[in-house]
Amino acid sequence: MAEAFAAVEIIAAKRDRHELTDAQIDWVVDAYTRGVVADEQMSALLMAILLNGMNAREISRWTDAMINSGERMSWSALSVPTVDKHSTGGVGDKITLPLAPLVAACGAAVPQLSGRGLGHTGGTLDKLEAIPGWRASLSNAEMLKVLQDVGAVICAAGAGLAPADKKLYALRDVTATVEAIPLIASSIMSKKIAEGTSALILDVKTGSGAFMSDPKRAEELARTMVSLGTRAGVKTRALVTAMDVPLGLTAGNALEVRESVEVLAGGGPSDVVELTILLAREMLDAAGVKNAKDPAIALKDGSAMDKWRAMISAQGGNPDAPLPIAREKEIVKAEKSGTISSMAALKVGVSAWRLGAGRERQGEKVQAGAGIEIHAKPGEKIEEGAPLFTLHTDEPERFARAKEALKGAVVISESGAIAPHLPLVVARIDSHDLT
């Protein structure tokens, strides 16, 4: 059967700044998934999209074409509304771990499809796999059973969900086209819309440790994704939140699980608790849960912890098992006394990655116990020689490069001055804010 288009015509159209038609978009995404369009041709098209952009109609159609490459999930068998959260990732961003069971404890169901880390940003599945026995891969039937029994599930997306995105994501990673807003937005939203949730809260990170370091670009991405969700009938909102300083006091897989359990036990670092409660309230409101329990109460009364334990157990994990601890540790001390003025999230993230907490290419194994503990944050006083960071790894030869990444990460001010930093919530966007 003859193909409807030639890939070269579509590449040339976008190269010359023309709009792609619906038929061209449908064909090129499908033909690439089928293997008719070669990697080098799709690479050229992705670069043309990065350089010349797409309008709202093109992005929406590209997203639909990726959704249509696979299955759509349905949660109509559940008796409570569904809501999910997606974060664009950062350093120490373990929010999904306490958030999913917390929202379930307050009356909504959370079908959370998560990913693995690449580069300096950690992956939710890598963190949870630090728990002995926990399984990331569940069938749709297993997901539904956990949702019915517990109310929250965190797992990997199956191969049937937006397979076009899986292929395109791998290609974007090796062709320097990751940063194109139309491609980021359609990648995230194709999976989230296909996942079948009725409401979605987006946590778009900005600042040095985020993938979108410029707040204006982060807001543009947030608006694009809210628009895509709204068009698809998913009640979508976005918060643009700060990632100029690491979230919490840990970066690394088992270390972040431990901190998440502290939050569920009613403690934990204030910034992690604040953002978890804020996102939980947005999720419950967007899902339309009537008379929802207040998330702040669910963290204090043990109901969120009960859901966490049930969720981990339902996926084969042992919530009581000791978490892995790295074989080696080294302390980085403050070089002078004063007030911590700033802490660069990116440098901390790169250091944790070099210790073995992250991977350089897809498919690499990560160390469960590797990472960084942070002993003081901006605004806090520190004495010369006091611990600033504790570095953890199984391979001591990694310490030198990890410490190199931390050079200049922390500024200590003798006068007590604190560098300007982003507010926790930089912007909030829902469908009413779209023009």
Q: Dihedral (C-alpha) 37, 39, 45, 50: value to the nearest 10 degrees?
A: 150
Write down the catalytic residue from 116, 172, 223, 231: 172
- 83, β-bridge pairs: 199
- 166 flagged as catalytic: no
Write down the catalytic residue from 14, 61, 86, 166: 86
Q: What is the DSSP letter of 372?
A: E
Write down the catalytic residue from 26, 64, 93, 165: 165
- 351 flagged as catalytic: no
- 359 flagged as catalytic: no
CA angle 194, 223, 183 (to 5 degrees): 55
Three-class secondary structure of residue 17 per DSSP: coil
Whether residue 393 contacts residue 402, with contact meaning beta carbons closer than 8 Å, is answered with yes
The number of beta carbons lying within 10 Å of the beta carbon of residue 216 is 11
**291: left (phi > 0), else alpha (psi -120 to 50), else beta?**
left
Residue located via tokens 């109901």:
303
Write down the catalytic residue from 69, 187, 198, 227: 187
Write down the catalytic residue from 191, 223, 231, 347: 191
CA distances from 407 to 71, 174, 348, 349 (A): 47, 28, 10, 13
Whether residue 194 contacts residue 63, with contact meaning beta carbons closer than 8 Å, is answered with no
- 86 flagged as catalytic: yes
- 421 flagged as catalytic: no
List residues with catalytic annotation: 86, 165, 172, 187, 191
